[in-house]
Amino acid sequence: LYIMDEPLAGVDETTERIIMDKFMDLQKEKRTVIAVHHDLSTLDAYFDYLVVLNRTVKASGYLAGIDKEAALARAYRVKE
C-alpha cells in the first residue's frame, strides 16, 4: 500500500508522466496507490476510483460511474 500526498504537485509534465508510469507499474503488480490529487482535468487519465472528502466522505466510486461535478457540489455545498 502506497499513500501519497499530492505527488504531482509542482512537477513538470515529464516528471508527472514518470511518476504516473510508476503508479501504473505498481497497479500491474497488484499494489494499491492512494493519492491526494486536486487537478480534476487529469483524474480520468490517471485514476480509476475517486473519493471526495470534506470532513466526511461525500462521494466515492469508480470514475466511470461518478458525476464529478455533482460530487464536488455536494462536498462543498454548492447549489446546482
Of 70, 24, 68, the C-alpha closest to 46 is 24
- Model confidence over 12-71: pLDDT tens digits? 999 999 999 999 999 999 999 999 988 888 888 888 898 988 888 988 889 888 887 787
Q: What total of structural domains would you count in the chain?
A: 1
Q: Give a yes or no: residue 80 inside a domain.
A: no
Which CATH number fits the domain that encloses residue 34? 3.40.50.300
Residue 17 sits in which domain range? Answer: 2-75
**Residue 43, burial from CB neighbour count under 10 angstroms (0-12, 13-18, 19+):** middle
Q: Give a yes or no: residue 41 inside a domain.
A: yes
Q: Give a yes or no: residue 66 inside a domain.
A: yes
- Selected residue with higher pLDDT from 1 and 74: 1
